[in-house]
Every structure is written in structure tokens, then in C-alpha cells.
Structure 1
């Protein structure tokens, strides 16, 4: 049977930056930053409290741009905290005024393995986890090294900082959702760059995905299908959003021009920390903000060892990634930058 790309509201459907409630009918938002757009969106929705938190986040974001790496984590974290409050308020979630995450240092050399993030069961971060339908990791602890490994926007810096590191992500291109004529069957698929294809690729993309060849290209597709019927469009879109949410647990964006997408490999030592990039960025920046506020000399020492570039890349880039992600969650829209990060 002939295959066609899935189409909603006259547009071919692709992966969406919003995890919880993506709007596939509305056109993508092209903007150099999402601050003004989201502020207007919240005003029109009469979300005064959320708007207050969003504007607070913007002020902290702007302050971070003028600060050095040792100081910027403090204002960046408060940007994240207020942006998350804006999200929770806009969705009528209960806001408990505690961070929901803590941190500590293990004695020894200055190492990201010795900087520990402790997840808690109550507060802003667990509330975001609950809203996104993710585990809150209450009572669990992870190191900054473990957390930073799972972020595609700094993964190249991570691998160059730690030689011999297992690369966790496979870049995907030409992502789309396909449907089969004369059938209710539909699924996700994308193209894989030849550089990332080897004898181990099939094993590390499992479970849930499979490789196949078509017209000289290697493609990847989700094994699980979803039902799509043009006669019951609202029900079909509801099923599609649920399917998309499951995919986005393994496929993560770098917000940029056109947005770039990466499949997280199925490798050992990452299944215990299966949260979205929003949660990971929040948790990691909280630990760095603690150091910036309470022990800036210790934070400065981290910039004199082998992971200094990785840390700088995270501090410089995390705010842009986080804000675009939260903007997408608040509005349900897909945001695209007109230029790269």
C-alpha cells in the first residue's frame, strides 16, 4: 500500500518541542527569543500570576548575560525557578515554595563526580516532574557528571572533556510521521546519518526502534504504531499526542534554527535517570548556583581542571535551551530560532 506523510491542518507533522500538550495545528513561532511572545500569550490568557513569574525570569536571564561564569549560575537558576513557576501557575498546578532539590560536595579533587545533586519529594522541581508525568527521583542522588552526560546541547563538549566516553546520542534528520493508505496504521520515522551506522547501531537503538533501508538511505522508525483516521480527527490527534509523548522520552531537541533532534541510545547506566532535559538542566544549575552563592572559590576551582570548557558551555547555553523548552510547554507551540546558538 502507498505511504504518505501525516498531515494536520494542511501541514506535514514533525517532532514538537512541547512534551505535555503540543499544538500540531498552529504554525511554528519564529523568534530570536520567546520572552515577548510568551508574555503576550499570558496576557491574552489573563494569566497574571504566571506573567509576573515569566517577567521575573526574564530579568534574571538578562542579568546572567552580563555576569562571569562564576556568578552567572545564581541568576540563571533563579531565571529557571521563576520560568518553572510561570509554567506551573499557567497550568493551575500547586506551587510549594521550596526548590525540591539540594546539593553537596564529596571531599576530594575538583571533579564533577564529586558534585552531588539530591532530588527531593516536594517543591518546584518535583512539581514540574509531576506536570510532565516524569519520575521525581525523590530520595535519589546523581552527580553533575551523570546529569551533564545526558544533555545533547553540550554532549560534544562532554565527550571531548572525558576521553573514551560513550556517545549517548544519534542525530536524526528528515523526521516525520508516516501513514499507510487503506489502513489506520501510522508511525514515526527519521533518517540516520551514515557516520553513526555500524555493527552496534541496531543494538543500541533498541528497545522500541528499528532500522531499515529505503532508496539508498538508512531510516529509523518506531516499532509501535498508533491509529489514525481522518474520519475521527479529534480522537486521532489525541492518540497521536500520547504516542508523540512516548517518543519524546527518547528523542531530545537542541533548540536552534529548525531545531535538531537526537535519539538517546539504549546503553547501560542511564536508565535510572530518565527525565527530560528541562528537569536535568534545572537540577544541574541548582547545584552550580549553590556553589556560586555559598562557595564561589570552590566553583572557580572547577574552571582550572579538565572539565572547565564543558562547564562553561553548560553555563552559557543552558538558559537558552531551558527558556525555549518552558515557552513551548506554556503555550503548546513550537519555537524556532532564526539563527543557531
Structure 2
């Protein structure tokens, strides 16, 4: 029996609105689920999957590998006590840097380090503004996110620090 599979994702309730769903391209609402408190979405692209007795054939493994390689870069892990991910939108028109989270975090931390050494007055002005809390939170949590992501990328394992507190 030939079967096709696709990637499913459950949105947080606060992001399960038609307005938020319209921002995400390449997904459809999965009507198999209720979708009342939160949306369950399916990636529109599918892949061939045949796994009799839970043993996938070689074609299925190749199809899944190709599917994974094509779509994995759209998802970014969030360091937290739960398994949370960002869906990176493709339809942005504001000249965002098309790079992964790791190099962007490294670059931002490097720039903040330069500012703290060579231009502390400007850094202080940034921290005193209304969005200073965002910079503070980035500085506080990004090192853990960075270590977690790099260790996961190197080993292929899922790391989380026990006793995580917000």
C-alpha cells in the first residue's frame, strides 16, 4: 500500500488565529484535528512513506531524507523547558538576513561585546530605551540557546538543562 506523509505542527494558542496563519506560507490547516483552542497545521509538501511492520523501505528513507533536507531549515529550536520551535517565514520583504540562528546569534553577541568594550555609552542608551528589556533578555538567554543549539547540531541529540526556570 502506498502512503504519503507530511510534517505536522501544533501552534501555540496565542498564535492560532487566521491573521497569524495567513503569515505562514506552505502550510494548511489539518482538518483531521478539532482546531478550536489551537491550530494543527500540515506542510503542504508530502513524501512517499511505506513502512510495513514499522520497517521503511529504501525508497521511503530516501524520500524522507530529501524532504527533511528541503524543509528542516525553516524550523528553529527555542531553548526552553518544553520542545518549542519557530517557523521561519519565507514571505518577508524587509531585507532580513537569510541565515540560521547560530551565526546570527554569534554575530549579535559579538557586536554587543564590541559595544560594551569600545562604546559603552551607546550600549547603555540602547538598554535604557523602551526595547531595552528585549536586549537584556537576549543577553541573558542567548548564551544558553547558543550552547544548546550548537551541541544539538554537532551531536544530533536533543539537549535541555534540567530544572529550567523562567
TM range (shorter): 0.7 to 0.9
For the residues of structure 2 that align with 1:298 and 1:337, how far apart are their CA atoms?
Answer: 34
Alignment partner of 2:144: what SS?
helix
TM-score by length of 2: 0.79
State the match for 1:122 in structure 2.
none
Q: Which runs of 5+ in 2 are unaligned?
A: none
Which residues of 2 match residues 198-217 of structure 1 at below 5 A?
198-206=17-25, 208-217=26-35
CA contact (8 A) 1:254 1:261 kept: yes
Shift of 1:234: 5.5
CA contact (8 A) 2:102 2:146 kept: yes
Shift of 1:317: 0.6
Match of 1:335 among 150, 159, 163: 159
* Superimposed CA distance per residue, residues 38-63 of structure 1 (whole angstroms, 9 cap, x where no aligned partner): xxxxxxxxxxxxxxxxxxxxxxxxxx
Structure with more strand by fraction: 1
1:285 aligns with 2:106: no
1:227 aligns with 2:83: no
Which residues of 2 match residues 1-341 of structure 1 at below 5 A?
182-206=1-25, 208-217=26-35, 218-230=39-51, 233=57, 236-269=60-93, 272-341=96-165
Shift of 1:338: 2.5
CA contact (8 A) 1:255 1:337 kept: no
CA contact (8 A) 2:77 2:149 kept: no
Q: Which runs of 5+ in 1 are unaligned?
A: 1-181
CA contact (8 A) 1:291 1:299 kept: yes
Alignment partner of 1:269: what SS?
coil
TM-score by length of 1: 0.42
Structure with more helix by fraction: 2
Instruction: Rate the CA distance shift 1:197–1:257 in 2: closer, same or farther, 3 A.
Output: closer
CA contact (8 A) 1:258 1:337 kept: no
Q: How many residues align?
A: 159
